[in-house]
Chain A
């Protein structure tokens, strides 16, 4: 056995260990089952947001696992909102804590695998004078992902929560911790930036 065990025990777990020993094993199992039924259906949603916030799959996986551990620990005090925004809010805190720990450095994105960044056209420009819907050509999924991933954080988060996680404005406001009005202006800005980048990418593709 180790001489100094304290240093080797990940702090995050041992609430689980203690609760289990102190409480009834059956109740603990029941609680875990309820948590599994309630939270696991949103794993893809949580992973998707993690992927766009952390910007690469490896960090995203770590963040999601940490998110679920925290959610399990706080499950007893969970009283709403809906499970999906609750989980996404926890995930967002996990990601922010990680960025704070790293000192605000974002890790390299793995969204740009398909195109070398150096040859990318400028990401966005001011909106065209008369943008026509007909001009907006369909982009393939990989290109759209790259365009979304290149948006600055608050806008990227807003557009992902809206278009991919399919949250309401109210739920986005909860996850991002801002008023609904801010959500609206961020979404407007996000879509405007995205559309410009979209048009630029289109120009490059032609």
Chain B
């Protein structure tokens, strides 16, 4: 083992992450190398100093009660989101803190109204959740290929539509693959694209929200969501790229579908 390797591995040794064989190798190197021995000792000392310095914060009691209050309570038939309508310091996280004090009754009635009328909003929230899930769970793709002719047939028999799979690599949106997802309890095709480091999930289904003549873009939890309908299908594109880039993406997909479906 040389010093460059030891430079990395001695941290794993300190952290107890090395198997016995590697630990022995590092210890053998350190025993014969004063420079690395000095580093090991100083990093160990630093680690101990940090452990003893009480660096962990206790969450403020008011934060704990804010969260407790937000959990559904047993007695409530309808969870009035009154907790969320407390005047907040300022608007934060987009639609999250509305910064307006509404009464509990008013808030509850709003929820009822919205539940009845705004199915699209549910779908929009669900596609954002599905997008976040796809990034978190290490389950971005079921079929991983940049070949549109591989992705498209993969969906056969898994969803009730043949989703158009369009390769936009030349236009800066790389096709990564496809995934079967569930939105609103229904299987939905998700076609996964990448723009620089950003993932775009394009959800396609026969009926996913109300049909949109024009495209509609909104922001939910910091993610941009674009919804449009075409060729009898509903499209929902979700990503953390800027809204205008997502619009560009949607436009390119729509153009490719155009009067002569490209795929």
Contact = CB atoms under 8 A, between A and B. Distances in A.
Interface of A: 1-2, 5-6, 8-18, 20-21, 25-26, 28-29, 31-32, 35-36, 40, 43-48, 51, 57-59, 61-66, 68-70, 72-74, 77, 89-90, 93-94, 96-98, 100-101, 127, 130-133, 135-136, 138-141, 144-145, 148, 162-164, 168-169, 174, 177, 184-185, 187-188, 191, 194-195, 198
Contacts of A2: 106, 110
Chain B, interface size category, equals 35 or more
Contact of B111 (A14, A90, A191): A14
A13 B71 contact: no
A14 B114 contact: yes
B201 to A, nearest CB: 14
Contacts of B55: 48, 141, 144-145, 148, 163-164
B89 A58 contact: yes
Interface in B2-37: 7-9, 11-12, 15, 17, 34-35
B43 A191 contact: yes
Nearest to A99: B222
Main secondary structure on chain A at its contact with chain B?
Answer: helix
B125 A72 contact: no
Contact of B110 (A8, A70, A163): A8
B117 to A, nearest CB: 7
A148 B79 CA distance: 41
Contacts, number: 231
B74 A44 contact: no
B174 interface: no
Given A5-B113, A101-B94, A25 B76 contact: yes
A12 B81 CA distance: 10
A178 B89 CA distance: 35
A141 B53 contact: yes
Interface stretch (B96-104, B165-173, B188-196): B96-104
Given A6-B117, A25-B74, A48 B79 contact: no
